[in-house]
Each structure stands twice: as C-alpha cells, then as structure tokens.
Amino acid sequence: MPRSDLYDALDHWIAQTAPPHWVALSGGLDSTVLLHVMCARLGSDQVRAIHIHHGLSDQADAWAEHCQQLCDRLGCALTIRHAQVNVQTQGLEAAARAERYRLFDAELAGGGTLWLAHHLDDQLETFVLRLLRGSGLTGLAAMAPLRAQADYQLVRPWLELPRSVLESHAEQHALNWIEDPSNADVQFDRNYLRQQVLPLVEQRWPGYRQTLNRSLQHLQQAHSQLRVDLDVELEHRLAADGALKAVAFDDWSDADILALLHHWLVRQQAPLPSSVVLQRLLNEVVRARPDAQPQVDFGGGSVRRFKTALYWVPDPVDPEPAPDFVEGELHWPGVGRLTVVRSEQGAGRLRVTDQPLRWALRTGGESLWPAGRSQRRDLKRLLQEYRLSPWLRDRLPLLLCGDELVALAGYAIDRDWLAEEGEPGWTLHWYPQISR
C-alpha cells in the first residue's frame, strides 16, 4: 500500500480509536479524500459514511446522490440523515452545526469513532477567527484532534497537514467531489478570510502556516495544563447529575470563575458561550441571591441555578406517549430512562401485583402517602421536599394503578404498595433525559 503523510497520520489515530469507524461525508474535497483513504487503509467493509442532508440548498438532493454514488464505487455503506434546522434561537451556521451533531449523536449512540476531515488550513482559519472575536485560551486552542462526543470519539486526523496534501491525493487518484457555491460567498467570515485575507498574508509571509501552527501548539499546551487544573477542581464540585456546586468562590478571581464555568459547560457538551454570555452567567446566576432561581438562555438551552448548584438544561423536547409498565429497562423519549428491577430483599420496593399498572406524568392534584411518613402529602409539596429541580418536576414518571398514584419513580412508594422484606418487589429507577 502506498505510504504518505495522510496514511501515517491516519495510522496514528486508528491505534487510539475504536470501531465502528464512521466518516462524516459532505461530498466536498476534504471528506471525499478522507473516505477514500479510510477505505484503502481499513477496507471498505470496515468503514461507514454518514451524510447529513441539510435541505438548505436546491442542490442538496444532488449532493446526497453524489455521496451515494461515491460510496457505491468505494464499496462502503452510507447512511443519509435529513436535518431539521431550527434558526429561531441561533444563526443559520450554528443551528445547522447543532442539528448535524444531534444526528451524529443519535447514529453513534452505540459507540465508535466519527472521523472528520478538517486540516491545517481549517485549523488556522478557526484560530484567526476566534482571535478576531476576542476568544480566551480555550477558544484559541481551536480544534482538538481527539475528543469525547456523547457516546463516541470524534477524531480529526489531519489537523497538522495543509489542504494542498489532500488536493494532491485527490488529483493523483482522479477523485470527484462537490463544490458548494456558498464557499465562494465572502459575506461569510470564514470565506472572506480564506478567499481574501490569508492569500495576502501568504504573499508576504509564505511560511505563515508553520509559524501560526507553532503559536497554536504553545496555546494548546497551556490549555492542556489549564484543563488538568480545572478537571481537579471539577472533581470536587461536580455532582452525579452534572450540576456544578457554585459555592466557596470568595477567594476566586472573576477570570478563574469564568474559566471554570467554561470548562464545566464543555464537560456538559453544551454550546460554547460567548464572553458576554459567560459574564452574564457570573453576574446573574453565580452571584444571584441564595433563594433565587435565575437562568440565562443561550444556544438552545439555559444555565439555571437551584439551591447552590448550576445546571445546564437543554430546551426540552415534548414527551412521547407513556410506555407500558414492564420489567427491565426502557427509554421514554423526552422523559428519560426507566428501570424496573425485581428482587425480594431491600427497602423501598414496590410489591409485585397482577393489577395493571401504567406510567403517567403530572396533571395536577396528585397525592401520595409515602412509606414511613405520618400522613398523605400532595405531590407538589413532596417534590419540593425531595429537592427535585423545578424543570424536572413535570417530567417525573408517576406509576398509577387505575387512577391511584402508587409510586414516584426513584423517589417514593405509597405505604399501601410497599413490599415487605422477603416479599417479591420491584425497585424503580429514573434517569432523567437532560439532553436532546
């Protein structure tokens, strides 16, 4: 097999990633070359391509067909997913990117690796754009070659290689690719930088890619050390549900708190906030009154404070109809994951019954007599006592027998439905859906 920088870089990252291997295929030069090299290196039957049909261009159908023909020639599988881009809360590019990653996350929910074809020119464009926007250290570190994304790994193997290397490979192998007309539209910042600014820079400083990349590597080293320090701090402050304990900041500078907030949001896989949004989070959420429940909305979600903790809360999706009550594990879209485990030992178990049980959500007026309590309580007051976050209270799965409330998943069993020790019973758990 012929060797080249493209293959060498690929080998380095293949050794650090796990199958199945997916390639994000737009049909442009970069992703076409990546798919071609991946198929040659691993074998076409070991590579899967995924194309996101955004529907934003009148040529979108033709692009999807081009990708299908390319995959047919290479002998690899292709998955096409149709996007629904919502621009109500963010710009077109940001909305398309968010939808693209939502579809990637869904397709790779079982794990694996998603390969992206970004190269050195893309990396330096990102660096300069963020520099011009006043980004901090995390933003200036630009794109990472490998990072965790939802249930899978995301790898960019060619961030050290210029686009010219990909162009040479495409010419050598007579590859065909799509040219998106919008790439020539200089009203977009990246296109303006690529088409008009950087060519002038190259005329004056022909080696600017290497020198800028050295500066970028220094920033990435500093960012790596900062991440280590922030990871240590997060270990002390991060709750099991992802909440950030916003206490004991008296000796912290504003810059340190902002860095921690940014790092926490990255860990929560939230959209990266602007410096203006970060400052709002500090002023309006972190420094809110102890009894307040403030929130700052951005990027299709919000940061909220409940008690002394901060939460990243994506905009909710409408829950699907309630599933049947069954033993085992099930997913209730819009609500979360439920488990029903049968056992004869332990406290807080629902007694096994032949009567029909059903899941439901709050409608108002419900009450329960929790086992071990002296009286019946209305559900609203119980959820306050259990310190359940306000935005989750309408998503808490209720278990009913007819119209009788018999259990709150993960929280309480009605005293008349409590299993005695040695009696068959079910343990109920709820893992809320806190992502799209």
CB of 57 closer than 8 Å to CB of 70: no
One-letter amino acid at 401 equals C
Quick one: average pLDDT of 206-228? Answer: 88
Query: What pLDDT does residue 300 have?
Result: 81
For the chain, give the mean pLDDT.
Answer: 90
Q: Percentage of residues in the chain with pLDDT exceeding 90? A: 63
Query: What pLDDT does residue 2 have?
Result: 37
Question: Sign of the C-alpha dihedral, residues 24, 27, 30, 35?
Answer: positive
pLDDT digits 0-9 by tens, 350-372 = 999 999 999 999 999 999 999 98
For the cut 90, the answer to whether the pLDDT of residue 80 exceeds it is yes
Query: What pLDDT does residue 88 have?
Result: 65
pLDDT digits 0-9 by tens, 219-265 = 988 888 888 888 888 888 988 888 999 888 988 989 889 989 988 99
Q: Which residue has the higher pLDDT, 52 or 144?
A: 52
Quick one: average pLDDT of 203-230? Answer: 89
Query: What pLDDT does residue 20 have?
Result: 96
pLDDT band at 435 (very low <50, low <70, confident <90, very high): very low
Using omega within 30 degrees of 0 as the cis cutoff, is the peptide bond preceding 356 cis? no
For the cut 70, the answer to whether the pLDDT of residue 436 exceeds it is no
Local structure of residue 251 (DSSP, 8 states): T
CB of 340 closer than 8 Å to CB of 327: yes
Question: Which residue in the block uniquely carries the two structure tokens 């970060």?
Answer: 278
Query: What pLDDT does residue 89 have?
Result: 59
Query: What pLDDT does residue 16 have?
Result: 93
3-state DSSP call for residue 338?
strand
Q: Whose CA is closest to 167, among 177, 159, 157?
A: 177
Domains, the chain, ordered by start: 5-211 (3.40.50.620), 238-314 (1.20.59.20), 328-432 (no CATH)
For the cut 80, the answer to whether the pLDDT of residue 55 exceeds it is yes
Checking 194-199 for CB contacts under 8 A at 24+ apart, the result is 194/121, 194/125, 197/128, 198/124, 198/125, 198/128
Query: Assign residue 17 a region: left if phi > 0, alpha if psi is -120 to 50, beta otherwise?
Result: beta
For the cut 90, the answer to whether the pLDDT of residue 209 exceeds it is yes
Picking from 86-95, 140-149, 201-210, 278-287, which range would have the lowest pLDDT averaged per residue? 86-95
| Half-sphere exposure at residue 428, Cβ-oriented, CA atoms within 13 angstroms | 26
Quick one: average pLDDT of 399-412? Answer: 95
Query: What pLDDT does residue 1 have?
Result: 32
Query: What pLDDT does residue 90 have?
Result: 66
Q: Percentage of residues in the chain with pLDDT exceeding 70? A: 97
Starting at the edge strand found earlier in the chain, the sheet holding 336-343 runs 328-332, 336-343, 425-432, 350-351
Query: What pLDDT does residue 135 have?
Result: 78
Question: Which residue in the block uniquely carries the two structure tokens 């790898």?
Answer: 155
One-letter amino acid at 265 equals L
- From CA 83, how far away is CA 375, in angstroms rounded? 51
| Half-sphere exposure at residue 334, Cβ-oriented, CA atoms within 13 angstroms | 12
pLDDT digits 0-9 by tens, 84-117 = 887 665 677 778 888 898 899 989 988 999 999 9
For the cut 90, the answer to whether the pLDDT of residue 339 exceeds it is yes
Picking from 167-181, 266-280, 377-391, which range would have the lowest pLDDT averaged per residue? 266-280
- From CA 55, how far away is CA 62, in angstroms rounded? 11
Structure tokens at 3: 């060797």
Which pTM was predicted?
0.65
| Half-sphere exposure at residue 92, Cβ-oriented, CA atoms within 13 angstroms | 6
Picking from 201-205, 358-362, 384-388, which range would have the lowest pLDDT averaged per residue? 384-388
